[in-house]
Amino acid sequence: MNHKKGFTLIELLIVIALLGALAVGLLAAIDPFEQLKKGRDTSTRNTTSEFYNAVLRFYATNANLPWNVGGATTTFSAQPMTSGTVTASISTLITAGELKNKFYTLAGVNNLARIYITSPSTESMIACFIPESKSFKQDLNVVFNNIGSSTTGCVAETAGGSTSCYWCIQ
C-alpha cells in the first residue's frame, strides 16, 4: 500500500474559504475608507488649529489681526483659506514668523480649501471645516454653521439629517 502524505483538494478549499471569510470580516471591521476620511479630518483640524494659533500669536504681538495690518478694519464671513484676503494673511503670518515657510506645501491646497475663516469683528476670528468621517461628525464640537454660530440641526446630521455641521475653533 502506497500512501502519499499531503492535503486533499477539499481540505485546501475549506482552509482557503475560512481565511477568505476572516479577511472579509477584518476589512469590514477596519473600514479603510472611514480611516482615510478620519486621517483627512485630522489633518484639516491640525491645519485649522495651526492657522488659528498663528493668528492669536500675531494679534498678541501686533494688536491687529493679519488682515487688518496698516490701519484696515476688515471683517468678512466664511471665506475659504484659498481666498485672496486669507491667502494674503497667510503670507503676512509667514513673514512675521508665526507660520512655517512651507505652510502651503504642508497643508495642501485641497486641505486649505476645506477650511472657512470668518472675522466677525476687527478683534476676533473663527475657523471652521465640515468633517467627513463618522467619528468627527459625532464630536461634541461639531455643532456650528460655516460662520461659527451654533445651529440646532447638526445633531440630526449624524442620524441622516441634511444640515451641514462644521467643526469650529473660536
* Residue 15 covered by a domain: no
pLDDT of residue 55: 92
Q: How many domains does the chain have?
A: 1
The C-alpha atoms of residue 67 and residue 73 are separated, in whole angstroms, by 8
- Is the residue at 162 inside a domain? yes
Does the pLDDT at position 156 exceed 50?
Answer: no
Percent of the chain at pLDDT > 90 equals 22
DSSP 67: G
Boundaries of domain holding 142: 35-169
Residue 3 inside a domain? The answer is no
Residue-wise pLDDT tens digits, 64-107: 899 888 777 888 888 888 888 888 888 889 999 999 998 888 88
- Helix, coil or strand: residue 98: coil
Query: Structure pTM?
Result: 0.77
Q: Is residue 30 part of a domain?
A: no
pLDDT in the model for residue 145: 77
Contact predicate 118/76, CB 8 Å: yes
Q: Looking at the domain assignment, is residue 113 inside a domain? A: yes
